[in-house]
Amino acid sequence: MATIRLVPSTYAVSSTNYLSVSNAANMYHNTDNTTYATVTNTYASTSSRYLYLRGFNFNDIPSGAVISSFTVKIKGYESGLSTSTSYAPRLANGTSAIANTTASSNFGTSTHTITIPTGALTWQQIANYDDDFTIMVYVRRSSRNTTGYFYCYGAEIEVNYTIPDPRTVTSTLSGNGTIDPSGAQTYYDGDEYTLTITPTTKSDTVTVTNNGTDVTSELIGHYSGGTSTSTSAVAGSNVTTGFYRSGGAFYQSSSTSSDA
């Protein structure tokens, strides 16, 4: 298993009139960072203002990776801001908070790293948000008379993943007929692939090998337009048969095409 730590590459604030950021580049690190960016709130009210961290480069994850787990973290502390749990950091799609992703604690006045819950989010949902996936930080002053500061050391999405071994699947047709695709094809566990078979006689059969092992007896056939697993087909007709794997497992069925 491999691990990658995706870090933010950009930020926004909810009000440029009252929020300012200095040393912003210090936020673009993982939570091991020891230098901070300063977010200053000078608004003479305890109304909420927000820092949005974005730009996690999901393309850094290798193609074909299978995500096993992911964790979202942010590191910092506050001065003159509300430390109420009600204003703890959370996740957002753009500027819209995502349900059930509020951290169980706020930063407080000493530096520490907070893990933000991901609720019911799947990895695919997070990746689909792309540049709109956001860590949202409340920069809410605790007093009208005191300037508030948030000191941010960085944030990350820690992703654990594996790269599955490629599988070479070779499909051949014995007897008279055609099969498409023919020859060796490369897939990964969980990939779906389709064979289009045009049988000529009932003796025509399909042979499928996985890394040199004959797995023909471990396939399921689905004919277009029906749900039957029957292998009957009119000789000479085009029959689309979907052979697929789920989670690396094959499922039992005959793959022989025959006359009706």
179-190 pLDDT, tens per residue? Answer: 677 777 776 665
Instruction: Confirm whether 258 is domain-assigned.
Output: no
- Report the pLDDT averaged over residues 234-255: 32
90-93 and 37-41 strand pairing: unpaired
Residues 6 or more apart in contact with residue 4 via CB below 8 angstroms: 60, 61, 158, 159, 161
In this structure, is residue 31 part of a structural domain? yes
| Segment 53-109, tens digit of pLDDT | 999 999 999 887 889 999 999 999 999 999 999 999 999 999 999 999 999 999 999
Do 30 and 114 fall within a single domain?
A: yes
Q: What angle (nearest 5°) sits at the alpha carbon of residue 148, between those of residues 146 and 153?
A: 155
State whether the Cα torsion 57-62-65-70 is positive or negative.
negative
* Structural domain includes residue 128: yes
Is residue 260 one of the residues assigned to a domain? no
Q: Binning pLDDT at 50, 70 and 90, where does residue 200 land? A: low
Q: Is the pLDDT of residue 233 over 70?
A: no
Do residues 52 and 139 lie in contact, with contact meaning Cβ atoms separated by under 8 Å?
Answer: no
At 50, the amino acid letter reads Y
Do residues 23 and 109 share a domain?
A: yes
Are residue 173 and residue 59 in the same domain, yes or no?
no
Whether 58 is covered by a domain: the verdict is yes
Instruction: Label residue 177 left, alpha or beta by phi (over 0 means left) and psi (-120 to 50 means alpha).
Output: left
Using the structure block, give the residue that is written with the tokens 């819950």.
Answer: 117
Per-residue pLDDT at 244 exceeds 70? no
Going by pLDDT thresholds of 50, 70 and 90, the confidence category of residue 249 is very low
52 and 72 share a domain? yes
What is the reported pLDDT for 228?
A: 31
Q: Residue 46 corresponds to which amino acid?
A: T
Domain boundary (162, 194, 209) is at: 162
Structural domain for 179, as ranges: 167-244
For residues 105 and 28, membership in a common domain is answered with yes
List the beta bridge partners of residue 207.
Answer: 172
pLDDT category of residue 194 using cuts at 50, 70 and 90: low
The number of domains in the chain is 2
Distances, alpha carbon 177 to alpha carbons 197, 200, 203, 219, in Å: 7, 5, 10, 20
Residue 256 located in a structural domain: no
Q: What is the mean pLDDT of residues 226-250?
A: 33
The rounded distance, in Å, linking the Cα atoms of 260 and 239 is 12
Mark which of 144, 162, 180 sits at the end of a domain. Answer: 162
How far is the C-alpha of 148 from the C-alpha of 223, rounded, in Å?
66
> What's the mean pLDDT in 103-118?
96
pLDDT at residue number 239? 35
Average pLDDT, the chain: 79
- Say whether 48 sits in a helix, a strand or coil: coil
Residue 109 burial (10 A CB sphere; 0-12, 13-18, 19+): exposed
Q: Whole-angstrom Cα distance, residue 224 to residue 203?
A: 21
My answer on whether 116 and 21 are in the same domain is: yes
Query: Which two three-digit tokens encode residue 179?
Result: 């099969």
Asked whether residue 39 falls in the same domain as residue 158, the answer is yes
Query: Which band of pLDDT confidence, cut at 50, 70 and 90, is reported for residue 250?
Result: very low
Q: Are residues 109 and 10 in the same domain?
A: yes
pLDDT for the residue numbered 63:
80
- Per the CB < 8 A criterion, the answer to whether 55 and 8 are in contact is yes
Match 């052979």 to its residue by tokens: 243
70 and 105 co-located in one domain: yes
